[in-house]
Amino acid sequence: MREGHLELRRPLEAPEELVPIAAGAFIGRDSGYRFAFARKDGRDEILLTPDEGEPQRASRLAKDAKLPVLLLDMGRSSEAVSAYRKRLRASPKDPVVAADRFLHFAFGLLGEHRDAEAIRVLEVATALYPDAPDLREQLADACMENDETQRARQEYTTALRLMNRDKKASADEKTIFRTRVAKKILPSDFQ
């Protein structure tokens, strides 16, 4: 509750105001998602209904639950890495631990000029995926946005080294990547 308004707070994202539409029911001002809160069998339950797709039901988590994204949001990066690694080992295809998810969080944070938080997210991502040149490049970009020029150069250099070793990338992909990153490392040489 902020200034008489109810807000939905998602980890690593800007809060969204919830506008009441009925007793125990709200609509997200930005997303248009509908939320209904109820008590069922002694448990709090939330019914989320997006504009498109099927409604989703969720129960309140235990007070001592430690979701990796919440640990990350609280700045507890080493605990988040451990929790994400455990989840990655148990289920490598789980979208919660997908590299793209970390990029989504980081881009959102950078768009809100929350550069230090974006760096923290990308540090966790690069700890989970140490051989991913794209993640390393995005970490370097975030460092550059945060005026950490020396670190950015180091991360760009690491990204180039990783891309050179990447057996999945084609020769063309490697050339495009090297050209793009080289322009970031030595911008005056390419203007």
Q: Mind listing the pLDDT tens digit for each residue in 20-64?
A: 888 888 888 888 888 888 887 777 788 888 777 788 877 766 677
> Could you give the 3-state DSSP secondary structure of residue 168?
coil
Helices marked H in the chain: 68-73, 77-90, 99-111, 115-128, 133-145, 149-165, 171-185
Give the total residue count for the chain: 191
Are 154 and 179 in the same domain? yes
Do 186 and 151 share a structural domain?
Answer: yes
Q: Is 18 exposed, middle or buried (0-12, 13-18, 19+ CB in 10 A)?
A: buried
Say yes or no: 51 and 97 in one domain. Answer: no
Residues 138/105, Cβ–Cβ less than 8 Å: no
Angle, CA 53 vertex, CA 87 and CA 68 arms, to 5°: 20
Do 33 and 74 reside in the same domain of the chain? Answer: no
| Residue 175, domain member (yes or no) | yes
pLDDT, tens only, 74-84 = 888 999 999 99
Residues 46 and 76 in one domain: no
Does 175 lie in the same domain as 111?
A: yes
Same domain, 80 and 46: no
Please check the confidence at residue 190 and state whether its pLDDT lies above 60. Answer: no
Name the packing angle between helices 171-185 and 149-165 (round to 10°): 170
119-146 pLDDT tens trace: 999 999 999 999 999 999 999 999 999 9
**144 & 112 share domain:** yes
Give which of 82, 63, 79 is closest to 71, Cα–Cα: 79
d(CA 159, CA 96): 24
Could you tell me how far CA 64 lies from the centroid of its own chain? Answer: 22
Residues 163 and 184 in one domain: yes
Residue 137, CA atoms < 13 Å, CB-side half-sphere: 17
Q: Which of 115, 117, 131, 136 shows the shortest CA–CA distance to 180?
A: 136
Residue for token pair 């069922």:
40
96 plus 50 within the same structural domain? no
At residue 191, the pLDDT reads 38
The CA–CA distances, whole Å, from 67 to 82, 83, 107 equal 11, 8, 21
Q: What are residue 7's DSSP bridge partners?
A: 17
For residue 100, give the CATH number of its domain. 1.25.40.10
Range of the domain at 179: 68-190
**What's the structural domain count of the chain?**
2
- Residue 185, domain member (yes or no): yes
Across all residues in the chain, what is the average pLDDT? 86
Q: Are 109 and 115 in contact (CB under 8 A)?
A: yes
